[in-house]
Amino acid sequence: MMIDTHCHILKEDYDNIEEVIKKMKENIIIVSSASPKDIDEIIDLIEKYDNIYGTIGIHPEFANTYTKTDLTKLESNLNHPKIVGIGEIGLDYHYGNDNKEAQKELFIKQIDLANKYHKTIVIHSRDAKEDTYNIIKTYKNNDTKCNMHCYGYDLEMAKKLTNQNITLGIGGILTFKNEKKLKKIVQELDLKNFVLETDSPYLTPEPFRGHINEPYNIKYVAEKIAEIKNIKYEEVLKQTTKNAIKQFDLKYLDI
Ligand code: NI
- pLDDT tens digit sequence for 174-191: 999 999 999 999 999 999
* Segment 90-128, tens digit of pLDDT: 999 998 779 999 999 999 999 999 999 999 999 999 999
In a domain, 92, yes or no: yes
Regarding predicted confidence, which is higher, 207 or 22? Answer: 22
Three-class SS of residue 20?
helix
What is the distance in A from the centroid of ligand 1 to the CA of 160?
22
Q: What would the DSSP string read from start to end of 71-94?
A: HHHHHHTTT-TTEEEEEEEEEE-T
* Segment 175-232, tens digit of pLDDT: 999 999 999 999 999 999 999 999 999 999 998 988 999 999 999 999 999 999 999 9
In a domain, 74, yes or no: yes
What is the distance in A from the centroid of ligand 1 to the CA of 5?
10
What is the distance in A from the centroid of ligand 1 to the CA of 8?
6
d(CA 169, CA 179): 15
Is the sign of the CA dihedral 23, 31, 164, 81 positive or negative? negative
H or E element that contains 216 = none
By DSSP bridging, strand 120-126 and strand 194-196 are unpaired
In a domain, 254, yes or no: no
Three-class SS of residue 8?
coil
Tell me, rounded to whole angstroms, the distance of Cα 161 from its chain centroid.
15
Are 193 and 167 contacting, i.e. CB atoms less than 8 angstroms apart? Answer: yes
Alpha carbons within 13 A on the beta-carbon side of 202:
9
Amino acid at 247: Q
How does residue 255 score in pLDDT terms, banded at 50, 70 and 90? very low
What is the distance in A from the centroid of ligand 1 to the CA of 148?
11
In a domain, 253, yes or no: no
Looking at the 3D structure of the chain, how many domains does it have? Answer: 1
Cis peptide, bond prior to residue 207, ω within 30 of zero: yes
What is the distance in A from the centroid of ligand 1 to the CA of 32?
7
Q: How many CB atoms lie within 10 A of CB 154?
A: 14
In a domain, 255, yes or no: no
Q: What interhelical angle do 68-76 and 100-117 show, nearest 10?
A: 20
Q: pTM for the whole thing?
A: 0.96
What is the distance in A from the centroid of ligand 1 to the CA of 33?
8
In a domain, 212, yes or no: yes
In a domain, 213, yes or no: yes
d(CA 225, CA 149): 16
* Segment 33-91, tens digit of pLDDT: 988 899 999 999 999 999 999 999 999 999 999 999 999 999 999 999 999 999 999 99
CATH number at residue 15: 3.20.20.140
Instruction: State the residue range of the domain holding 186.
Output: 3-247
